[in-house]
Amino acid sequence: MPLRALIFDFDGLIVDTESADYQAWLAIYEKHSAHLSLARWNEGIGSYDTFDPYAHLAEQLGRPIDREAIRAEHRARLDGLLADAAPLPGVREWIADARQLGLRLGIASSSPHRWVEPFLAQLGLREPFQVICCNDDVPRTKPDPALYRLALQRLDVRADEAAALEDSPHGVRAAKAAGLYCIAVPNPMTRTLDLDGADLRILSLADLALNEFIARFEAPIQAQPLQG
């Protein structure tokens, strides 16, 4: 089946916001003499509903917290850490090659539009994507497949005509539940997590040219997953 579309995750796949997000929260927890383990943080990577850092902090402190004040502090810290952020290796090349080949491009992100779209504009990557689906658009985020099903619908392609690019277990499960071929491209925060559900795993998009992937995708018999 010819490949007609690519659907990208955003956080941790296009740009490594995951490391910065954890560092911002870690600083806030340490300021309150609380602890945020990497294992607990990893429970929420790739989703929006599975881990609440505000509730976890309040639980450790044993009292209510000022969510709005902490939200503002977290955003200020995160913006500082990501001020000079750049796309991860290979991302620009895959997007450029996809456009040259006439593939449709979409995003399926568990983050809200108010985060994803300005960041894409900051990176100079908003225009290539015909479709951007975020947590504002669906009742449930990853690992639920709703985001991917919506992206497929808006791109007007079938699941077997598209491939998803993901960095987290929640994202991989969502993509596979929607019937897509899934490429796992872990970032520093997700390299130790279980991504075995993906059809293909690579260390970086810079390690595989899009035309090479297309040949693999369109082969009559899919090769076994490549572990990176």
- List the pLDDT tens digit at each of the 228 positions of the chain: 899 999 999 999 999 999 999 999 999 999 999 999 988 888 888 777 678 999 999 999 999 999 999 999 999 999 999 999 999 999 999 999 999 999 999 999 999 999 999 999 999 999 999 999 999 999 999 999 999 999 999 999 999 999 999 999 999 999 999 999 999 999 999 998 999 999 999 999 999 999 999 999 998 554 444 444
Whether 97 is catalytic is: no
CA atoms within 13 A on the CB side of 57: 19
Do residues 15 and 119 lie in contact, with contact meaning Cβ atoms separated by under 8 Å?
Answer: yes
Which of these is catalytic: 11, 16, 21, 199?
Answer: 11
pTM for this entry: 0.89
Whether 66 is catalytic is: no
Residue-level pLDDT at 73: 96
Alpha helices for 43-110 (secondary structure H) = 53-61, 67-81, 91-100
Residue-level pLDDT at 220: 57
Among the CATH numbers 3.40.50.620, 1.10.390.10, 3.30.565.60, 3.40.50.1000, which is that of 5-16+86-217? 3.40.50.1000
**Cα–Cα dist 53/169, whole Å:** 19
Which of these is catalytic: 9, 21, 144, 199?
Answer: 9
